[in-house]
Structure 1
Amino acid sequence: MSEITIRQVDLANPKEVEALVAMIDAYAQHEMGGGRPLPTEVREVLGERFAAHPASLAWIAWLDDQPVGGLVAFWCFSTFSARSRINIHDISVVDGHRNQGIGRKLIEAVEDYARRTDCCSITLEVRGDNLRGRHLYQKCGFQGPTDWSPPESMVFWKKSLS
C-alpha cells in the first residue's frame, strides 16, 4: 500500500512547480476557493512568478508520483517579536483524498520547518464559513476568534511557536 509523503517544493524544479500550480488550481475549483478554475493567463505565469518571489514557500503531499495536496506559504516578519513568521496562504487536498490526514500532515511539515528556522509563529486566514478548515486549524493548535464570523468574512488565525 502506498504512503503519503510530504516534501517541500524545489522552486527550481519545473515539474514540482507545475504540480504546485495544479494543486492551487484544484483549490480554486473547490467551493472554498471560489468554485472556478484559475484563468488560463494566471495559470500560464503562476509557477514562474511564484518561484521568482523571494518569500515563496510550498509543500506538496505525494502519493507515489502523484500530487494529492499542496500548501502555499510566504515568509513574513513580526516586528513585535523581531523574528520571522510563516503565513499559510492556501491549503488544498484533491477530491478523493480528503479526510485522510493530508491537510494535517502539510501543516505539520510547515510547523517543523518554522521551528527549524526559528520562526515565532505561523499565521493563516480562513473563510468564516469554512468549518472543516477551522476545525483542522484548531486541532493543529491555531487560535482564532471565539465568535463565528459571517460566511463572507475572512478571519486571521495564528499559532505561536514558543
Structure 2
Amino acid sequence: MIGSASGGRPALERCDFSQLPHRDAFCALLKHYMEDPMGDYTPHTDAQEQQLMDDLATHPTAAIYLLNVDGAYVGMATTFMNYSTFKRQPYLYLHDVVIHQAVRGQGWGKYLMKQLIKVAKEAGCCKISLEVRTDNPAAQATYQKMGFAACTPTMMYWEKGL
C-alpha cells in the first residue's frame, strides 16, 4: 500500500520484467499515470500490458527505473538511450515519469530526477531530454529545480499517427 513515504529509505531499481514485483509495480504505476489528468489515456488491457512488457524487455535502448521507498514502489521513469549526432555522444530520453499521487509533494520527484541524472552521467551522456505538458506546472517546476530548461531555440513537438 502506498502511503506517506516521508523520510523513507529510497532505492532506484532497474526494472527486471522477469521479477513479478517489478512487473506489478510497472503496470500499476503506468496505469496510475494513464488515469491521471496529465496522462489522460485509457489504461491498457492485460494483454496490452503483457505485449508492452515483452516489447520493452527486448528493446535495445529501453530501461525502466522504479523508485522504491521502504518496500513500496512510488515512482518510475521509462527511458531510452538516444544519440546526438552534433555532440557525438549518447543522451538519455525520459519518456514516462510518474510519482504516485499519494506521495507527491514529498520530494520524491526531485530524488528520482537526481538518480536519473546520475544514470545519464555514468553512461557518458551529453544531456537528458524530456517532454512536459504545458498544463503541468508542478512537473515543470520540478524539472526547472533540477536544471532543465526549454530548448533554445524553441522546438515544436510534432507527430504523425500511423
TM-score, normalisation: structure 2: 0.82
Q: What's the CA shift for 1:140? A: 0.7
| One-letter amino acid matched to 2:62 | S
Distance in 1 between the 2:11 and 2:50 partners? Answer: 27
Runs of 4+ in 1 over 4 A off after TM superposition: none
Q: Match of 1:65?
A: 71
d(CA) in 1 for partners of 2:26 and 2:121? 23
Aligned to 1:160: none
Residue 15 in structure 1 maps to residue 18 in structure 2: no
Per-residue CA deviations over 1:3-56 (Å, capped at 9, x if unaligned) read: 232222235434313322221111111100015433444223221211111111
Say whether residues 1:95 and 2:90 are aligned partners: no
Aligned length: 152
CA RMSD, 1 decimal: 2.5
1:114 matched residue in structure 2: 120
Alignment partner, residue 127 of structure 1: 133
Match of 1:78 among 84, 91, 96: 84
Higher RCO (Cα < 8 Å, 6 or more apart): 2
Larger strand proportion of the pair: 1
Distance 1:28 1:112, change over 3 A: same
- State the distance in 1 between where 2:18 and 2:61 align: 14
Equivalent residue number for residue 6 of structure 1? 12
Give unpaired runs (5+ residues) of structure 2.
Answer: 1-6
TM score, norm. by length of structure 1? 0.82
Query: Kindly, what percent of the aligned residue pairs are identical?
Result: 28
- 5+ residue gaps in structure 1? 147-152, 156-162
